Amino acid sequence: QQQVKQSPQSLIVQKGGIPIINCAYENTAFDYFPWYQQFPGKGPALLIAIRPDVSEKKEGRFTISFNKSAKQFSLHIMDSQPGDSATYFCAAILYSSASKIIFGSGTRLSIRP
Amino acid sequence: GAGVSQSPSNKVTEKGKDVELRCDPISGHTALYWYRQSLGQGLEFLIYFQGNSAPDKSGLPSDRFSAERTGGSVSTLTIQRTQQEDSAVYLCASSLAQGASPLHFGNGTRLTVT
């Protein structure tokens, strides 16, 4: 019940395309869903996050879509650029228990010029 | 301001030796986490410190692993009698408070056990 399943494991998209990364969770008590971006040799960095009371959140070219009934959320990258090539992790958090941050397994995204 | 600092950035050690990995969190951050990331893999939770509370050690893989946080600031992760399967990147993160505060990660220590 504590798992967050992330797919695909890897993704290759042409520049300008819209990569979509999906995550699914089981524990309905999760109430905060961040996405982290990790470049090679660096630690992950927070990219965008959403609470379950909204269905969509946009920040620049990055959008999270959230489906509470299906217990799924996804990251979309509009007008993708080669500089977006990185590993992306979704996560789910129990606000009341900060130690329980459950990360997905990661998606290695490559944007081809 | 300064981010989370980890040292050393790379460590090569022989099997059976002990190693210490250091993490300097962002000043004022009360929460500190250690994660392990094997090559091309996800983030494996190891241990969590919050203020003066007892740490959550539920992710430590064996009793060879231990961690401490002195004075609510610097943390040290110690691995005793290292094994080849301990080879990984060890990431430290800190956050301002509990709940939805974002994690700020260091760049990690790449540990190689030969």
pLDDT tens track for B25-78? 999 999 999 999 998 788 999 999 988 889 999 999 999 999 999 887 999 999
pLDDT of residue B96: 85
Whole domain around residue B39: which residue ranges? Answer: 5-97
Within a domain: residue B103? no
- Choose, out of A101, A107, A110, the residue to mutate when testing the contact with B (most B CBs < 10 Å): A101
**A98 chain-B contacts, CB cut-off 8 A:** 31, 48, 50, 95, 97-99, 101
Question: What DSSP element (H or E) covers A28?
Answer: none
Helix (H, G, I), strand (E, B) or coil at A30: coil
Task: Examine the pLDDT at B100 and tell me if it is beyond 80.
Answer: no
The torsion angles phi and psi of B81, rounded to 5 degrees, stand at: 45, 60
Contact A93 B45 (CB under 8 A): no
Within a domain: residue B32? yes
Within a domain: residue B80? yes
- Its CATH class, for the domain covering A4-78+99-112, is mainly beta
Whether the CB-CB separation of A87 and A107 falls below 8 Å is answered with yes
What's the rounded Cα separation, in Å, for the pair A4 and A25? 5
- Choose, out of A99, A100, A105, A109, the residue to mutate when testing the contact with B (most B CBs < 10 Å): A99
Per-residue tokens: B29: 């951050």
The torsion angles phi and psi of B83, rounded to 5 degrees, stand at: -120, 160
Could you give the number of structural domains in chain B? 1
The whole-number average pLDDT for the span A41-65 is: 94
Within a domain: residue B107? no
With a pLDDT cut of 70, the percent of chain A lying above it is: 95
Task: Examine the pLDDT at A94 and tell me if it is beyond 90.
Answer: no
The DSSP-derived string for B39-67 is TT--PEEEEEEETTSPPB-TT--STTEEE
Task: Examine the pLDDT at B1 and tell me if it is beyond 60.
Answer: no
| A30 interfaces chain B, CB cutoff of 8 Å | no
**Residue B102: pLDDT band with limits 50, 70, 90:** confident
